[in-house]
Amino acid sequence: MAIDERTGRRYYLDQPQAIRDDDALVFILSLHGGGSSGAFQRLYFPAYQYCDALRLVVAAPTAATVDPYRHWVGDADDEHLRNIVDQVLARYGHERIAAFWLAGHSHGGITCNRLLRDEFFQQRVDGWLSLSGGRIGGIEVVDNFFPPGRPAASSGTVASSTRPTGGRRARIGTATAPECDLSFIFAVGEHEMVSLPRSSPWAERCGAGARVERALVVDERPGFVHDLMREGMSTPGWGRVARPGSARVLEYPNARDGRVIADVVRLDKGHTEGLEPNVTRAIVDLMVSAPGAKARRHRERSRESRGTMTKAPT
């Protein structure tokens, strides 16, 4: 665990066991869904397993707002997230952070989309991973997405007591195109959507080619978590118990500046079933392969600033 030194709030922080001076680290800020927590998100998207192999730093905080369920709203949470970014960059050094990704599940993905309208994040984020948190260009969500019952909160994501209608339902499937340039990966359970569009507006904006399907990712191991509060009464769209599975990886190649744009469809899966280790690895491999142009520019500005400060007067 780490502590936000400005607010005292704790968050999960995973890193390689040993960090070298010449390391190029990829920083992932991973946000949980509504009604969930940093602990659940860490296991739902277990990127921490690959901190050593892929040189990752992964932060998984918990939202403070709990009425009517735990979710990311308000200035206090936004300040906490900005503090984490500042603290991670300072702790590991700007020169070591090769790229910075926002990742979010469900409401956490919607929150990432909102943060990308904030100048602080626009200047720093190199990529966005939406884990069923809205696709740029949209998908149609199935009608029986939400399970019956009205528990006060969910160990997975949005509580059914906040069952969305109209525009809110559309937001689950549709994300607003950000104004900044970045890589974009959308991952979704097959049973959450009616179908996946064959094209991507973000890929078109970035000049990418027609999508190419990579080798099927297969995993005989299950994910680590699922929505325990709805076990036995859930819908396929919402998700059942964590099980072994496979995923289609659909990539849009040759995007401008080497950006990575991809859709990942988890077969026979719903919204709350934790990602399997191999599927997680395939997604993180895509993230690590993407450029970190903003991080590089930030390092260059830092070097220029240091040079100006140390330069002797003439």
What CATH number is attached to the domain comprising 76? 3.40.50
Counting the structural domains of the chain, the total is: 1
CA angle at residue 102 from 294 to 243, to 5 degrees? 140
Structure tokens at 72: 């990311």
Q: How confident is the model at residue 21 (pLDDT cuts 50, 70, 90)?
A: confident
Looking at residue 293, what is its pLDDT? 57
Q: Give mean pLDDT, residues 258-262.
A: 97
148, 208 in Cβ contact below 8 A? no
Beta strands in the chain (DSSP E): 2-3, 10-14, 25-31, 56-60, 97-105, 127-131, 135-136, 174-175, 183-189, 212-213, 217-219, 245-251, 261-266
Looking at residue 67, what is its pLDDT? 77
Looking at residue 298, what is its pLDDT? 52
Looking at residue 230, what is its pLDDT? 84
Instruction: Provide the greatest CA pair distance for the chain.
Output: 76
Q: How many CB atoms lie within 10 A of CB 190?
A: 18
Give the separation between CA 273 and CA 267, rounded to whole angstroms: 11
Q: Give mean pLDDT, residues 269-276.
A: 96
More confident position, 163 or 91: 91
> Residue 280's domain spans which residues?
2-158+165-310
Looking at residue 302, what is its pLDDT? 59
Looking at residue 168, what is its pLDDT? 42
Q: Give mean pLDDT, residues 23-48.
A: 96
The pLDDT > 70 percentage for the chain reads 85
